[in-house]
A and B are shown apart, each in its own frame.
Chain A
């Protein structure tokens, strides 16, 4: 039976069918659902969340060395974190086949940057396989493991947002059983000492030559000859856009093994047509290699290097045909940016932090990035996972050297802290900067859709797991001042910030602990937190229209400009009580007079 599956669901199924028995990942849009869907097959494989992508890949390398087929999945920026093991993994090669699944995010739907990770394949000198959509997954995954084991190499399996999150009809197949390859001690292969790696370096080049020969014959690179004079070379989801633009009016060479390229196969295709287009998202990765090989293809001179492609962009760029559509007047629509949800525990923290003037607040990756957005506008910076704490230290140390004693606060989520904030905090201890470091612990990895992490007490399978203690970790790292607060208690938050800003003997840590309002509460949450709350309501006669509650940025609060009164939408309010505390006129109370 055919199923309508996202690329992520289809890749998960394909990994199962290929006999994979170990997979690890750190959640990251658009890759997250690959591991979530692998839990369906948990009886046949070990699946787990790792604290970060480097750890996930290293665990997968260990599994490969142990002789099983393994995979590590991550979003594009995750591969930056995992780049260190990747580069040397290229030298050691594999025992059981190993795939690194990279989900790139052209158009930055849910990312801090845009990057084309196919370039990592070139840098690491390993093969790159791409798919056009979910329907390709089964064959491409199976072939990738064949490549990995035949050529003793990890394979970079590259997807993009539209491939991950678009659904296509997929026929599921049977599982192939993969018998583990016995592990044999082999220091030359697995110990990358300079002496060994120097000898293996030429082997990497030899492998590239063999892979080039493979690519020429690979079933992944397919030609569709429609007897046309126009040729289209495309990879990824762009192949679908190309087909919709040219239909039967072009010949197609769809590349799924995009590194190394089948140059001679491409040359034969190129010479068989009069005009040859290369349609690929982001960098001219294929195009540049073809130009080097002397082919005058048409690509990025017309097709943008930025953002996603779509049918309209390809049609206009190559055929000069603009889409016909109407545009409504701009005054009929207001922006609708993402905002912290009703009852979000981050709100109370940011609302209080905003009252401290002359504070630089370095931010991090997670829902709390929205602490930079109006009306809170607390956060000053965002770079990458873990950067808040290390940047905060840098800001403090640089200003101090210039004679300015600056108040610096870093804000980071629970999962992000465990991902790569711990070494940053160690740095602040070691180099002695009195920054205030706030762990916004909402008891879950929220933004990617609520995944467990080492702080939640549950593993990927939902089984109880050791729950790490943030306070113990930060104390072990050498932090002398630690305060745990309930972010729904504004007075407590304020006192903690004040106290920590006054503390000058090294960095301090505030752990702001309350579960995400959208979380499906675990047994542990229900035991720890009084989560049943009655909703908040405005007593209209007492409201003076001061806007304090509006400044919390809660989407349940509405302000009537005519009446100059606030009101609360009882449907969406979860009763967090932050607005009650923000009101200087006691005009907001709990429904039914409850506390």
Chain B
């Protein structure tokens, strides 16, 4: 059975690193893995996703509507934008810190209210302010690895040495920070 994980966020939030780490863990667990990313202009502050699929044999590299077992949303509006990809009964991991888009920054539109409440009613929601938690750890940028920690806990990939993977993937200077971030996410209740 193929499982699908969709990461949704805003350009610059580090979703590619999070999905690379996940993919490495899945390969280590012996799965066939495919992954899809978006490059180019879409990255300039726009809405971005990466998609990871794994199982015994994976065909399509992209996830269809209603097909993601887990969505990891780095931002509330992005959770709403991609909610149509969540499988009925699927899990949504959400970082609640808002990133207003240009139309909101300029005052042309308001940031929508009631997103977290809506998601709580319409998905199996795990919400946390990963941005704030990462800032408390010393660097806002580590939010991606906090969210990965939350995801890792759900996926129960018991044989994976996550910290070793992080060590391989990130600059030595940031290892301690990211190891702390991972543990923070993994132990989040």
Contacts and interface: CB of A to CB of B under 8 A. Distances in A.
Interface of A: 2, 4, 6, 29-30, 32, 109-110, 133, 162, 165-169, 237, 240-241, 243-244, 310-312, 323-329, 331-341, 367, 369-370, 374-375, 447-449, 547, 550-551, 553, 555, 557-559, 561, 571
Contacts of A30: 39-40
Contacts of A6: 37
A165 B62 CA distance: 11
Contacts of A558: 100, 105
A336 B114 CA distance: 18
Contact of A334 (B59, B64, B88, B111): B111
A326 B114 CA distance: 17
Contact of A338 (B27, B42, B77): B42
A244 B60 contact: yes
A553 B88 contact: no
A311 B44 contact: no
B83 A327 contact: yes
Contact of B84 (A328, A341, A370): A328
Contact of B33 (A4, A324, A329, A341): A4
A337 B101 contact: yes
A165 to B, nearest CB: 5
B36 interface: yes
B61 A169 contact: no
Given A323-B64, A325-B65, A338 B46 contact: yes
A112 to B, nearest CB: 10
26 contacts: A4-B24, A6-B37, A30-B40, A110-B41, A165-B38, A166-B61, A167-B33, A167-B37, A311-B62, A312-B64, A312-B65, A326-B88, A332-B77, A334-B77, A336-B78, A338-B44, A338-B45, A338-B46, A339-B45, A339-B46, A367-B41, A374-B103, A447-B44, A448-B40, A550-B107, A559-B105
Interface string B54-78: 0000011110111100000000011
A323 B65 contact: yes
Contact of A237 (B61, B81, B107): B61
Contacts of B108: 374
Contacts of A133: 34, 61
A197 B43 CA distance: 46
B83 A338 contact: no
B83 A326 contact: yes
A327 B80 CA distance: 8
Given A110-B39, A166-B35, A310 B107 contact: no
B5 interface: no
Given A312-B64, A336-B46, A375-B102, 16 more contacts: A4-B33, A166-B62, A168-B61, A240-B60, A241-B60, A310-B62, A311-B60, A324-B66, A332-B112, A336-B47, A337-B102, A367-B41, A447-B40, A550-B107, A555-B45, A561-B110
B112 A335 contact: no
Given A244-B60, A332-B115, A110 B42 contact: yes
B109 interface: yes
A561 B42 CA distance: 28
Given A240-B60, A240-B61, A310-B60, A341 B35 contact: no
Contact of B40 (A29, A323, A331): A29
What interface size band does chain B fall in?
Answer: 35 or more
B142 to A, nearest CB: 13
A165 B41 contact: no
Given A165-B37, A367-B41, A311 B64 contact: yes
Given A325-B66, A325-B84, A367-B41, A557 B105 contact: yes
Contact of B62 (A162, A448, A561, A571): A162
Interface string B74-100: 000110110111101000000000001
B143 interface: no
B102 A339 contact: yes
B109 A327 contact: no
A337 B47 CA distance: 7
A162 B10 CA distance: 20
A113 B168 CA distance: 40
B106 interface: yes
Contact of B81 (A109, A162, A333): A333
A333 B102 contact: no
Contacts of B34: 133, 166-168
Shortest Cβ-Cβ A-B pairs, 9 listed: A110-B40, A325-B66, A29-B40, A166-B61, A338-B46, A336-B101, A338-B44, A312-B64, A244-B59
B151 interface: no
Among B36, B47, B105, B107, max chain A CB count under 10 A is at B105
B102 to A, nearest CB: 5
Given A166-B34, A328-B118, A341-B44, A334 B101 contact: yes
B140 to A, nearest CB: 6
A101 B7 CA distance: 30
A310 B45 CA distance: 26
B104 interface: yes
A374 B36 CA distance: 30
A557 B107 CA distance: 11
A4 B23 contact: yes
A21 to B, nearest CB: 28
Given A133-B61, A167-B34, A323-B64, A332 B114 contact: yes
B39 A341 contact: no
B41 A332 contact: no
A241 B62 CA distance: 9
Contacts of A370: 44
A109 B36 contact: no
Nearest to B79: A328
A448 B44 CA distance: 11
Nearest to B62: A310
B60 to A, nearest CB: 5
B167 interface: no
Contact of B44 (A244, A310, A339, A551): A339
B37 A571 contact: no
Contacts of A369: 41
Contact of B80 (A162, A332, A367, A559): A332
B153 interface: no
Contacts of A447: 40-41, 44
A294 B46 CA distance: 47
B125 to A, nearest CB: 13
Contact of B23 (A167, A547, A555): A167
Contacts of A328: 80, 83-84, 118, 122
Contacts of B43: 338
A310 B140 CA distance: 35
A165 B39 contact: yes
A4 B33 CA distance: 8
